[in-house]
Structure 1
Amino acid sequence: MTITTAPAVEAFDRALGDPGEPDGVFSYARCNELDKAEAFPDEICALLNAQGLQRHYVPEEYGGALGEVPVVLELLRAVARRDLTMAIGHSKTFLGAVGAWVSPTDPASQEMARQVLEGAAISSGLTEQAHGSDLVSGQVRAEEVPGGFRLTGEKWAINNATRCRTIAVLARTGDGPRGFDVLMVDKTALAPESFRCLPKFRTHGIRGANISGIVFDNAFLPAEARLGRPRTGLETMLKGLQLSRTLCSALSLGPGEHALRLVLEGPGPGAPPSGSGGRTGGAERPEEARTLADAGADHLLNEAAAQVGCRGIHTFPQETGVVSAVLKYLLPTRADRMIADLGRLLGTRARLVDGDLDGRFQKLARDHRVVGLFDGNTLVNLNMLVNEFATLARHAEAPYDEEALRTAADPGRPLPPLNLAALRLTTRAGSSVLRALPDLAAAVAGTPAGPLAARLLGQYRRLVAELAEHRHPGLKVPRHVFAQADRLTLCWAGAAVLAVAAHAAPPEGDPLWADGLWQRAALGRVLAALGEPAERPAGQDQELVRALRDRLESGRSLTLMPHRVAEGVTR
């Protein structure tokens, strides 16, 4: 949790109402009803717009409230903690509009800002059924004609394609990778016969989301519909995806926290005894405590990585390509495993559509499996990291900006202004967070986390030696190369944990920070995933669970820097 954003996030969450109250607009019960009906949550969407969430998708220079990326992360996380369908359905406007900020072109950017601020839904028309994530092979074509373009073709699996007003369409206007433009397609301005929306797709998770497609038939667009310079559409979209992939962290942190809360709260009336899953009176058996502690450590690991990544957009924006790929791969992957582990702890109760958990666990588990698929799936993000191997290895020992790293890791520090013009498709010197790992390990050498940090540094140095020998395999990437990319994401996340530990001021008297408790637990999870499990001190699991439960029972978020939440409290 970013310290300076806590009051705003608390006020926003409180304005959405207590989700435990069944009659509330944005209650767990209402979200469950909408999920069963496979209905889009229009009333909840209106509530979010009334609270001004859409303003945080628009930069301040265009009249919006987007000044600090971590604020957007926390607001979306608050929504995703309640319901992932709503978080995905609303936040897709950010991806649809972001090209207007990455490659600003007046008056198109001003018009995009006006629509978003008014609460219009914006979609991103990237994918096509025949090509999936291979954007370069896209065949939707925009022919330049006097006064504008004629758009023809089909975009497929588009979030909000039917209900949105405007779609930012990646269309082919020439040949090769430089033959694309992003066109702002306002459906209300099109001739009715020039487009049609496809039926809503039925999905296993996020059942109420409006995922469909759209077909254009010689649709006329004015020349000012083009965003950015001619033939830079692919670059615009790829830079925009760097931002949206980073913010997708909220879509894993929210459900992860929801799952943890459900298990920490324990069984409700009529639930089975502890041996069938759940707890009794707050006392877990050792294996239950270990599962809960591992889940909590994974959640805090994800949070540290997301916070450093989001703040890093301000402090080292030129590295966002690497960081966004790390986060978009690592967080959905680890959160899926964490939720599955917690489900096994709950037993049958995790699968029930109704029952004492009101179907909440099975819904969030279903919904979250979708997060790893959009805005670039798992293999897409790993492949992006593979493309950076040579640069990361070559600059592994290069200097880094210590002040920029400190600002990225310390949530109490003010951030420099957001500079989207500094985004780059590829990095020039790899990752500052990784280059800082030797210094970060040295900084904690005399603490309880020191031995774990030293082992992580050893793992990273072995990986760098492997990457230095890497030769790009071409189109067919061997499995072991993807495994190296996976290890790279773990080393980056471990370094993010150490950066937060070294630079953030812990909340006074917080047991989660005492003796480096959460850092030790998170680093232990990283090392275990790297194949080098560490022994955990006696009682560490129980201490971590107690610290998390204390947050829950005092009405605070399950975060490193806790804030008040709208859920009912016991004290």
Structure 2
Amino acid sequence: MSDVGTLERMFGDPWDPANPLGHAAAVAADEREEMFGEGERLLDRFVLNAEFVPVEYGGRLTGLDRLVRMMRPVWRRDPCLGLGYGASSFIASVNVWTAGSDEQRRAFARMMLANRKIASVYHELAHGNDFARAEFAATPGPPGTLLLNGRKEVVTNAKRADSLVVFARTSPEEGSRSHSQLFVHKEDLPPGRMTDLPRFRSMGMRGVQLGGLLFEDCPAPADAVLGAPGRGMETALRSFQLTRTALPSMMVGVLDTGLRTAIRFTSGRALYGRTAADIPQVRATLAEAFADLLVCDAFGTVAARAVHLLPGETSVYASLVKYMVSKLLIEAMDRLSLVLGAQFYIREGEHAVFQKLLRDLAVIGFGHAARVACLATVLPQVPQLARRSWPAAAEPPADLFRPDAELPPLPFDALTAAASGRESLSTGPGALLDEHGADPDVRRLAEVFARELAALRDEALALRPRDLGVAATPEALAVPARLAAVLAASACLGVWRHAGDPFLKDPAWVVAALTRLTARIGTGDGRLPAPLAERLLSETLTRYADGRAFDLAGGPIPG
């Protein structure tokens, strides 16, 4: 079975300028505003698309956390590959697995396993993330057809895709049952009725083909609808739970390369008779970036496993992972850019990959849902969580925190649009306090987050109905933002409590992780004490020297 190690070895040493799959080649493709051709050909040979197809349909998709791990090497090498080759088809796929018929699923699987491309066609510039107002229409046409009319814009692989998953208005009525999703094959559309719009140029992801499509009375088969007509919004809300969980966690690979580039630069940069890596502020920045990466991986991994084990709670975790992980990754890269100084924006030379990663990473701040939209998704659920779960929720299963534990199949049919007041991950700090003999520093920080959850409960119960809608104040949105920090801390505590790896069993990393998260709830500045920073930096430099990843798994990587 194909695994992460195989893919890493196929990519080879990224720092070798002669490697056609290395950083220099990826940066060169970016300068040409082209997709990284050699990278795409490698992923064709690896049949990466099989990772998006469940085993029962001939693919390799068994667990969402495994998918994240498989995609990390791709994002580590080139985010344009991650989005333009991988994420575009993944985003489309989850709608088919969630709502499609067996025939539609089999057709999708055949295309994926043949290395074809399928685009997710959602976005309309006039309405942004407000899909309920989408105007693109699919109306009854001649018998057995729907007529497609309207524009879709900023669509990844709009021109290159062989098929499309299209979000369309199928009823003029207002409400949640006015839209559907369609699985449309371009070969079924008559010529001249669908026009490719010019590519949208972008600051980051310059190699990704962000195009648009114009449909004018374009007939499509009526049986292209995924699921029952009018259920498009419900399908989207369920499928977003997989994409909002998985995509930011995949992008931990971007910070991995960013941190690796910063270490490479500071180790070879002489200042005032010593290397830049000897400067205390630089050392603290590197250690804190490593701690933030571990927070992102712990929260993302636990949330991905929750899709399998706690599907009824996933609507809360998915949106808050998108909010918190994307924020931490972007801010960590911004701080590392200060370490590189003028090198961070230079587009040639050994360290040029950093400026590309920095620009590409900015995309995850919005993607198919901006961070504030993710908070707004969770906000209406917060009062019910405060009433039903936070006072007395049972602890989640231990396997939630054990990446090596087997998982049941992905329960696409068990995902729900809302959690109905169910949420158990936040029990982590309180559960730690109930244990005897816990490390005193871990216990002290667990108390901080337990108190924060109690404060959030009081604030959530005080929210008024008008605080929960589109006109929510920044103060109201701060409640789910702080909840995200509590959940991230809980994920870190759970991974630490159930760890087998010697480093992950060491209290140092979880103390560092929770210390960093105190800045997110206003109880600290997030800075690591010097001895703790040195302990984290020692692990970081050891992994760098040994050629190991900086994430929880710490597996071998080339270069």
Establish whether TM, by shorter chain, passes 0.5.
Answer: yes
Q: Distance in 1 between matches of 2:215 and 2:539?
A: 55
When normalised by structure 1's length, the TM-score is 0.92
Deviation at 1:68, TM superposition (A): 1.1
Deviation at 1:274, TM superposition (A): 3.7
Which AA in structure 1 matches 2:157? Answer: N
Q: Distance in 1 between matches of 2:65 and 2:322?
A: 16
**Is the Cα contact below 8 Å between 1:57 and 1:64 reproduced in 2?**
yes
2:366 is matched with 373
Residue 57 of structure 2 is aligned to residue 65 of structure 1 = no
1:152 to 149, 154, 176: 149
User: Aligned in 2, Cα 1:305/1:333: closer, same or farther, shift over 3 Å?
Assistant: same
Give SS of 1:21's match. coil
Structure 2 portions without partners, runs of 5+: none
Seq. identity, %: 30
Structure 1 portions without partners, runs of 5+: none
Residue 332 of structure 2 is aligned to residue 332 of structure 1 = no
2:281 is matched with 287
1:169 to 166, 171, 174: 166
**Is the Cα contact below 8 Å between 1:17 and 1:26 reproduced in 2?**
yes
Which AA in structure 2 matches 1:496? Answer: A
2:475 to 452, 476, 480: 480
**Is the Cα contact below 8 Å between 1:100 and 1:108 reproduced in 2?**
yes
Q: Deviations over 1:217-256 (max 9, x none)?
A: 1111112211112211111122111111111123430111
Q: Distance in 2 between matches of 1:245 and 1:275?
A: 45
When normalised by structure 2's length, the TM-score is 0.94
Q: Distance in 1 between matches of 2:59 and 2:487?
A: 32
Residue 44 of structure 2 is aligned to residue 49 of structure 1 = yes
2:397 is matched with 405
Give SS of 2:213's match. strand
Residue 108 of structure 2 is aligned to residue 112 of structure 1 = yes
Q: Deviations over 1:408-427 (max 9, x none)?
A: 11112111222111100000
2:518 to 518, 527, 535: 527
Give SS of 1:192's match. coil
2:342 is matched with 348
The farther-off stretch of 527-536 and 447-456 is 527-536
1:557 to 535, 549, 554: 549
Give SS of 2:102's match. coil
Deviation at 1:347, TM superposition (A): 1.2
Which AA in structure 2 matches 1:137? Answer: R
Q: Distance in 1 between matches of 2:240 and 2:457?
A: 27
User: Aligned in 2, Cα 1:274/1:297: closer, same or farther, shift over 3 Å?
Assistant: farther
Deviation at 1:442, TM superposition (A): 3.1
Give SS of 1:193's match. coil
Residue 457 of structure 2 is aligned to residue 464 of structure 1 = yes
2:3 is matched with 8
Which AA in structure 2 matches 1:355? Answer: G
1:94 to 81, 90, 97: 90
Q: Distance in 1 between matches of 2:323 and 2:350?
A: 33
1:426 is matched with 418
Q: Distance in 2 between matches of 1:180 and 1:537?
A: 53
Q: Distance in 1 between matches of 2:185 and 2:10?
A: 32
**Is the Cα contact below 8 Å between 2:430 and 2:446 reproduced in 1?**
no
Q: Distance in 1 between matches of 2:225 and 2:348?
A: 48
Q: Distance in 2 between matches of 1:531 and 1:401?
A: 27
Q: Distance in 2 between matches of 1:188 and 1:394?
A: 52
Which AA in structure 2 matches 1:255? Answer: V
1:491 to 483, 486, 490: 486
Which AA in structure 2 matches 1:310? Answer: A
Q: Deviations over 1:167-223 (max 9, x none)?
A: 100111112320111111211221111101111111000111100110111111112
Give SS of 1:243's match. helix
Q: Distance in 2 between matches of 1:275 and 1:117?
A: 56
**Is the Cα contact below 8 Å between 1:318 and 1:424 reproduced in 2?**
yes
Deviation at 1:475, TM superposition (A): 2.4
**Is the Cα contact below 8 Å between 2:249 and 2:296 reproduced in 1?**
no
1:299 is matched with 293
Q: Distance in 2 between matches of 1:535 and 1:547?
A: 18
1:199 is matched with 198
Taking the TM superposition and a 5 Å limit, the aligned residue runs for 1:213-292 are 213-267=212-266, 271=269, 273-274=270-271, 280=275, 283-292=277-286
**Is the Cα contact below 8 Å between 1:252 and 1:331 reproduced in 2?**
no
User: Aligned in 2, Cα 1:275/1:255: closer, same or farther, shift over 3 Å?
Assistant: farther
Q: Distance in 1 between matches of 2:272 and 2:104?
A: 60
**Is the Cα contact below 8 Å between 1:126 and 1:169 reproduced in 2?**
yes
Q: Distance in 1 between matches of 2:222 and 2:309?
A: 36
The farther-off stretch of 257-266 and 493-502 is 257-266
Residue 309 of structure 2 is aligned to residue 315 of structure 1 = yes
Q: Distance in 1 between matches of 2:434 and 2:343?
A: 45
**Is the Cα contact below 8 Å between 1:298 and 1:338 reproduced in 2?**
yes
Q: Distance in 1 between matches of 2:232 and 2:355?
A: 39
2:123 is matched with 127
Q: Report the number of matched residues.
A: 551
Which AA in structure 1 matches 2:220? Answer: L
User: Aligned in 2, Cα 1:469/1:480: closer, same or farther, shift over 3 Å?
Assistant: same
**Is the Cα contact below 8 Å between 2:52 and 2:59 reproduced in 1?**
yes
Q: Distance in 1 between matches of 2:473 and 2:245?
A: 26
Which AA in structure 2 matches 1:531? Answer: G
Which AA in structure 1 matches 2:475? Answer: H
Q: Distance in 1 between matches of 2:104 and 2:246?
A: 24
Q: Distance in 2 between matches of 1:251 and 1:496?
A: 17
Deviation at 1:382, TM superposition (A): 0.9
Deviation at 1:67, TM superposition (A): 0.9
Q: Distance in 1 between matches of 2:322 and 2:492?
A: 17
Which AA in structure 2 matches 1:152? Answer: N
2:446 is matched with 453
Give SS of 2:219's match. strand
Deviation at 1:307, TM superposition (A): 0.8
RMSD: 2.0
Deviation at 1:313, TM superposition (A): 0.9
Which AA in structure 2 matches 1:464? Answer: R
Residue 18 of structure 2 is aligned to residue 23 of structure 1 = yes
User: Aligned in 2, Cα 1:445/1:223: closer, same or farther, shift over 3 Å?
Assistant: farther
Q: Deviations over 1:398-447 (max 9, x none)?
A: 65564x53111111211122211110000023321013441134338621
Q: Distance in 2 between matches of 1:442 and 1:295?
A: 31
Which AA in structure 1 matches 2:3? Answer: A
Give SS of 2:116's match. coil
Deviation at 1:450, TM superposition (A): 1.2
Which AA in structure 1 matches 2:310? Answer: F
User: Aligned in 2, Cα 1:370/1:556: closer, same or farther, shift over 3 Å?
Assistant: same
Q: Distance in 2 between matches of 1:396 and 1:239?
A: 21
